Copies of this chain bind each other. A is one copy, B any other.
Amino acid sequence: MSTDVPADASHWPPPFLLYLGNAPDDLAAKTARGLVQFRPEWCVGQFRGPECRTSVHVPDMDFAQARAAGANTMIVGVANAGGRLGAEAVADIVAALDAGMNVASGLHERLASHPEIVEAARRNGRHLFDARTPPPTPVGNGLPRAGRRLLTVGTDCSTGKMYATLALEAEMRGRGLAADFRATGQTGIFIAGRGIPIDAVIADFISGGIEWLSPERHDGGWDLIEGQGSLFHPSYAGVSLGLLHGAQPDALVLCHEPGRPHMRGLPHYPLPDLAQTLEANLAAARLTSPDVVAVGLALNTSKLDAAAAARACREAEDLLGLPAQDPVRDGVARIVDRLLDAVPC
């Protein structure tokens, strides 16, 4: 994967200190963990508060140590209840700015909403970046645009779409293909250096935001667009549909976690089945991309043993006639093979 710093990240350049604060569990450190996994060379250390219950396994540092180790930006990726910045976190952010780092946050609550943070940035000549604040974009127009695009879709939220999309980027780049991950969530935005937090845009601009994120390209390369949510999630399906239309995808990869008992956060909603999910996504995608095809399934088998994982992939593969792989266990080579076969570059 390229480790170039895109121009868009010029206000929050790596390397990074990862702020974990008092994260209560592993899930709360999801953004920091994504960065360590996909951009390890950007992560010089982590800052943990006295009650922190997780680690992303990089050296512990305070703000001065991080700056001395070369950190240019502190990334606040930790989500506490309600996505709020507590008084401790605000004080830590001010201290990080005073130590000479920029600060970037993926929380719903904006850094810029705290006057003491704004003032600390000003007096130190440092930048603040709120990844959840979307850029202004036009309304979608659905006009056919040049370039090849793949979108990851899912049976549910949090099925591994970002991971699968990044794995596809790595595999395609490893084959010498032009392929670029296009981020639609805060963790992806920190990894890619740019993107759009699509769940935070005004409802009328969902498809337009994705058209902006992934404009026409003429180099024969691929945009690999990170999907969000699910057409079958009663809370968020509108986001998923607008994303699908705006992506105008040539190819879909369906992401799924076998064995999940119900839709995320909604015990009264069972998961849709794979065939139904794929058909609904293809049907909706045809509105803006009539020739869209499915090229594979990315299964998150992290809760299964090796034998059960292999069986789950085989079953999905037999059911849909598409390569099914767990990107973590198996990579995505067979999905890329199918992609290149189905949509010649």
Contact = CB atoms under 8 A, between A and B. Distances in A.
Interface string A187-201: 000000000001111
Interface in A316-345: none
Contacts of A234: 140-142, 207, 245-246, 287-288
Contact of A202 (B200, B280, B283, B284): B200
Q: Kindly report how many copies of this chain are found in the complex they form together.
A: 2
Q: Which residue, A203, A204, A241, has most C-beta atoms of chain B within 10 A?
A: A203
Interface in A253-267: 265-266
A274 interface: no
A235 interface: yes
Interface residues of A, number: 40
Contacts of A239: 203-204, 206, 238, 242
Interface string A201-221: 111111110000000000000
A139 interface: yes
Contacts of A123: none
Contacts of A7: none
Contacts of A129: none
A154 to B, nearest CB: 15
Contacts of A265: 141
Contact of A237 (B268, B269, B287): B287
A280 to B, nearest CB: 8
Contact of A268 (B142, B206, B235, B245): B142
A235 to B, nearest CB: 4
A139 B235 contact: yes
A304 to B, nearest CB: 27
A307 interface: no
A207 B141 contact: no
Contacts of A203: 198-203, 205-206, 238-239, 242
A129 B268 CA distance: 38
A241 B237 contact: yes
28 contacts: A141-B235, A142-B266, A142-B268, A142-B269, A143-B268, A199-B203, A201-B202, A202-B202, A202-B203, A203-B203, A203-B206, A203-B242, A204-B236, A206-B238, A207-B234, A231-B241, A232-B287, A234-B245, A234-B288, A236-B242, A237-B241, A238-B238, A238-B239, A238-B240, A238-B241, A238-B245, A239-B242, A280-B283
Interface of A: 139-144, 198-208, 231-232, 234-243, 245-246, 265-266, 268-269, 280, 283-284, 287-288
Q: Which 4 A-B pairs have the closest CB atoms?
A: A238-B242, A142-B234, A238-B238, A206-B238
